[in-house]
Each structure stands twice: as C-alpha cells, then as structure tokens.
Structure 1
Amino acid sequence: MNAKPRILVKGAGVAGMTAAVTLAERGGDVTLVDRAGRVGAGASWMAGGMLAPWCEAESAPAEVTAQSVDSVDWWAAHVPDVTREGSLVLAPARDVGEIARFGRRTSHFTQVGGAEIAELEPDLAGRFQKGLFFADEGHVDPRRALEALGDRLRHLGGHANMDDAPPDDNAFDWVVDCTGLNARNTLEGLRGVRGEMLLLRCPDVVLHRPVRMLHPRIPVYIVPRADHVFMVGATMVESEDAGGMTVRSMMELLNAAWTLHPGFAEAEILEMGVGLRPSYPDNMPRVRRDGRHVFINGMYRHGFLLSPARAREAADLIFGAQG
C-alpha cells in the first residue's frame, strides 16, 4: 500500500467534508465526490449550525456532549466566521416552566433574569424575565463553513470532483462513504428524520447568538446569520416525508419568531426547506469498517457537533491500519 494512501470520500455534506479535510491533514491523498455535484448537498445545507454540546444534553445521550465539547474549537480552527457568543434559552410566559425542566437536564449554564437577558440581547429587553445562558457554546453558518472546508481541502492538495463521472472505487486504497440515506441499503437500521427550516431577512431585529424558544410540543431555534438573515428551525420530526413544508409547520416557525420579537412580522421570507437527516435507532452517529470501506453515517441532528469526532475516528482507523 502507498505511503500516502489514496482515499475516496463519497458525500459532500458535513460528515464527508470534515472527514475529507481530516484525512488530508493526516497525510491522505483525498478525492471528494458527491452525486449532487456540489459541496454542502443534502440535509447539511438546511442545518442550523449550532455548536451547542451543553444544550443538546437536554435530549441527547451523554456521549453526544462528551464527544463534542471541542467542536467549537475544531470549527474555529478550520473555517472563518465562527461566532462564540454562547446560546440563550427562553420561553414565553405561558411555557416558562419548560426552562426549569431544560435546566434539570443540562449543565454549564447561568440562570438569567430580565436585566441579564437585556444585556445579552438588547432587542429582547423587557420581553422575557427568565432564561438560561450557555456561555461556552457557539454557532456557524453551515453553508459558508462547508464551502470553506472545500477550500481547505484543495489547499491541502485534495481534489473535489463534483462535475466529473464518479471514479472507480478500485483505484483507491480506501473508500469513505458519507452518503447518508443513500447508504441505507448497505447500513442496517438507517431511517430519515425530517428537519424543517426558514430563512428570514429582518433588518429590524438584531441577535448575537442562537436563541432556543421552548415549547412542550415543538421547540424552535432562531439563529442569526450575516446581512440581517435568521435561520428558524424546528428540532426533528419523526417522518421520512421529504415533500414541501406544510402550512402548519410554517405557521409554528413564524409564530415562534414573532413571539421572540414582533419585528419578525415584517421579515422577508427568503427560503423554506425540508431535509431528511440520516439516523440510527439510538440517534448516535457511527463509524463502521468493512474491509477497505469505512462508513460514517447516522449524524441525526448532531452533524456539526459530532462530525469532527467521527472524522478523527475514521482517520485513526485508516492510519492505524497503515501502521
């Protein structure tokens, strides 16, 4: 086998992009392909980009937090424009009891009252009297981040063959499959979990960090991006329907944004989207080897949080095998 192994990475979502860059940094001769013909295809393009290991502990296994606490550092070291201003968890007055429930399931937060909320987010002054602030978290614009990883891969000497016919697997020492639900015929137990999002442009509202609006049935997050754009997303819906967004879903997302700040009533709807996240029954991403094929899949809602850890796991497997 070559001293510098030739590695084919299939899939240019967050799992594939982090794997390709990590493998190139470890010394692999990496070629990236995606059947969609571009970087950032699939569910990753619809992601919120929240780097929130402590918040995720509210509903995720402890392993998610343990394996993702350094994810903010990884992204900050690899792409520009990572924002490290923490996360703010709020609830409307009728659901304020949800804050205590959220706090019981999480850690590494500070309880904040109306004055602290106003200091953190001046545009929310007087609107909320109780919340949780997770100071060690961050967020990133997924689309810019994935494109930056593509640039990083090329800088490392890797190749992104998006427009050409897929190369022959047999021309490579290793094949790393990060194709999500396209691999479900090979990987037992994969299912699709629906995620929905809106992109809004609202010059009348300024936020500095993601805000999670708690609700017993459908928690919603609002994530600020550049140029007065906000991503509004639901958590996850147990459905494999990849069709368009329903009126009900749109109303719930828009209502959450309006509840956070009435200025969103005048926002421009730029985009609405639905993505299917590949997920295993336990909602934990896995790395699996079958000969010279390595599979990274099942990212669920943890793609940006856990892809650096899964990429390292795959790299350790491949380069450990080299020795």
Structure 2
Amino acid sequence: MFSIIGSGVTGLCVATALAERGLPVELLTDNSTPASHWAGGMLAPGCEGESAPSEVVTAGAGAADWWAARVPGVVRRGTLVVAPPRDAVELDRFARLTRGHDAADPGALEPELAGRFARGLCFPDEAHLDPRAAMTALRDQLTGKGVPIRRGEPRGRVIDCRGMAARDMLPDLRGVRGEMLIVEAQDLELTRTVRLLHPRFPCYVVPRGQGRYMIGATMVETDDPGPITARAIMELLSASYALHPGFAEARLVEAGAGLRPAFPDNIPAIREQDGRIHVNGMYRHGFLMAPALAETLADRLKMEMRDAS
C-alpha cells in the first residue's frame, strides 16, 4: 500500500497516476486548505520560460493534455501577453526569454481589448482550468475507483505531498506567498488568459466562466501564510484596471493568499529521504508540474514492484 499524505494538487495527481497503474494507494487528508486552492490554474509552459528553468518548460509541456484527459473544463485558447505602450520594452524582453509564441493583434484575439494595446504575443498551445473544479474532479474519480480518502496515520509506504507542512523533514523548503482576487465583471468577455506586463506589478487575468475572473498573483518571499494584504489588493485591482477600465465596475467576490513551497532552485522535485518519498517544491508551477512528477514517480514505483515480484 502506498499512503499519500496531502490532498492538494500534488497529492491528487500522484494518487491518480498510481491508481491508473493499478497500484494500491490511499490518500490521507487533514481537511486543511492547500496552497493550490488559491492557484491561477494556468497551463502555460511557454510563458513560464520568462523566469523558470528549462526543466519546468519541458516537463510542463504535456500538462494540458494530462488534465484534459482527466477533468472537464480545460480551456485551450492559448495565452495573450500584452503591455501598455509606455512599457513596450517589457513585451520585447518577454519575447526574447520565451518561445512558442506568435506576434498578435490583441484586439483581434480579444475584442474587448481593441484599441487598447498596439501589439501582443500569443502562445497558442497554452491552456487554463479552474483549479478547484479540477481538484474536485480528481478527488471524485479516486473515490469512484475505490481509493480510500481518509484522515489518520499511514498504513503503507509513505509518499509525502504536504507542501509547506513537510518542512519538518525538508528544511530547505521556503515559503513564497501568492495573493489573488476573484472578481465578477459581467460586462466584460475575455476568453483566454491575458498577462499584462508591467515593471512593478505584472498581473494575469484568467477567465473562470459566468463573468468571473481570477486576478493574480503577487509573489512575496515570506513564511507568513496569512491573509492577503491591502497593498496586494490595490496593486492587483490597479493592474486589472490598466488592462481594461471595465474592471473598475467589477464586484470583488473573493480575496485570498496561499503559501507555496519552493526549493532553493525553484524546481519541483521527487526526493527520497528519511524513509519517505517526497514530492514537493512546486513553487508557482503546481498544476503545470504535478502531472509530470506524478507520472515519473508512478512509472518508477510500478517498475520497482514488477522487479520485486
């Protein structure tokens, strides 16, 4: 039996990959809110290449296919990247650091932005999803397959996916807080993720359907998990207003923050130490990288069990 501790996106992906290979698995949860609850749900390996190592870009390339094969609601309309005219140099910098993009007319892709931005970048192969709906779908599928989801002590070989809670065993984990808003703007209609580049507070806007949008996300190097700051709310609202003034009339539905676990190199990893397998360090790449790590680990464990039989 493999006992997976942690029911955020990492634990759910690992449990899914193991169950799909017929391995005996259970998922242990403490019913706390995982950091992935506050995620943007962008499956955007090309855009992440601006700051992420090549390992993340390469491993994340299959994330959209992985999610689309398992959960409903994966929207595959790409990512649009724009910058205000005064910050056009930011768009050029982003283009140099990334790949998989085409020059785009923002207004042609998103009519709401017509006349607001002279040019942009389109990453046509990227996608997005609703993180909470996706995690619920994986959890329901595991339950349907008979995978126990329970509280309590592990009964088998432990796979630790606890995020920041695992710092008792992974002392080099650090916290990076991400802050986000969900707003309702019924008069706007954006169909894909839009990233607004800005030298001080870049932001992204992700459609969640029914007139709702997720606006994120700050990155604060801190171990303090709690709540979103007034400064973050003001900066995110200001950035969204710079994208489209219609956001000034939006209703603020939710504001929150999550503490993301990160290793010193910001690369998610599988480690085996202290008698446990650790899958951790997702940083800002949870939905992008958890499937790749889960598949890698499941293949390894399947082979180990076959060799041992």
Q: TM-score range by the shorter chain?
A: over 0.9
Native 8 Å contact 1:9 1:31 kept in 2: yes
Deviations 1:108-154 (A, max 9, x none): 10112xxx322210111111111100000000000000000011212
Give the Cα separation in 1 of the matches to 2:273 and 2:143. Answer: 28
The 3-state SS of whatever aligns with 2:18 is: helix
Q: CA deviation at 1:72?
A: 0.4
**1:316 lines up with 2:308 in the alignment:** no
Give the Cα separation in 2 of the matches to 1:293 and 1:321. Answer: 15
**1:265 lines up with 2:265 in the alignment:** no
Give the Cα separation in 2 of the matches to 1:29 and 1:243. Answer: 36
Deviations 1:173-231 (A, max 9, x none): x2111001111010130000010000001101111111111011221111000211100
* Paired position in structure 2 for 1:254: 237
Query: How high is the TM-score relative to the length of structure 1?
Result: 0.92
Q: CA deviation at 1:292?
A: 5.4
Alignment of 1:295-314 (within 5 A): 295-314=278-297
The 3-state SS of whatever aligns with 2:220 is: coil
Alignment of 1:110-149 (within 5 A): 110-112=102-104, 116-149=105-138
What value does the CA root-mean-square deviation take over the aligned residues? 1.3
**Closer, same or farther: CA 110–237 of 1 in aligned 2, 3 Å:** same
The 3-state SS of whatever aligns with 1:146 is: helix
Contiguous gaps of at least 5 residues in structure 1: 1-5
Q: CA deviation at 1:291?
A: 7.0
Deviations 1:67-126 (A, max 9, x none): 1111100000010010000000011122121000000000110112xxx32221011111
The 3-state SS of whatever aligns with 1:35 is: coil
Give the Cα separation in 2 of the matches to 1:110 and 1:235. Answer: 26
Give the Cα separation in 1 of the matches to 2:47 and 2:85. Answer: 21
Percent identity of equivalent pairs = 50
Query: How high is the TM-score relative to the length of structure 2?
Result: 0.96
Mean Cα deviation higher: 264-273 or 243-252: 243-252
* Paired position in structure 2 for 1:3: none
* Paired position in structure 2 for 1:26: 21
1:281 maps to which of 264, 277, 281: 264
* Paired position in structure 2 for 1:156: 145
Q: CA deviation at 1:155?
A: 2.4
Give the Cα separation in 2 of the matches to 1:313 and 1:290. Answer: 17
The 3-state SS of whatever aligns with 1:254 is: helix
The 3-state SS of whatever aligns with 1:69 is: helix
Native 8 Å contact 2:180 2:217 kept in 1: yes
Deviations 1:264-296 (A, max 9, x none): 111110110011000000001110123752110
Native 8 Å contact 1:83 1:139 kept in 2: yes
The 3-state SS of whatever aligns with 1:317 is: helix
Give the Cα separation in 2 of the matches to 1:219 and 1:59. Answer: 13
Moved over 6 A (4+): none
The 3-state SS of whatever aligns with 2:195 is: strand
The 3-state SS of whatever aligns with 1:111 is: strand
Give the Cα separation in 2 of the matches to 1:181 and 1:249. Answer: 22
Native 8 Å contact 2:82 2:106 kept in 1: no
Give the Cα separation in 1 of the matches to 2:170 and 2:48. Answer: 26
Give the Cα separation in 2 of the matches to 1:187 and 1:319. Answer: 25
**1:195 lines up with 2:178 in the alignment:** yes
Native 8 Å contact 1:287 1:313 kept in 2: no
Give the Cα separation in 2 of the matches to 1:265 and 1:122. Answer: 18
1:95 maps to which of 79, 87, 95: 87
Give the Cα separation in 2 of the matches to 1:185 and 1:291. Answer: 11
2:152 maps to which of 150, 154, 166: 166
Q: CA deviation at 1:235?
A: 4.4
Native 8 Å contact 2:177 2:223 kept in 1: yes
1:83 maps to which of 62, 70, 75: 75
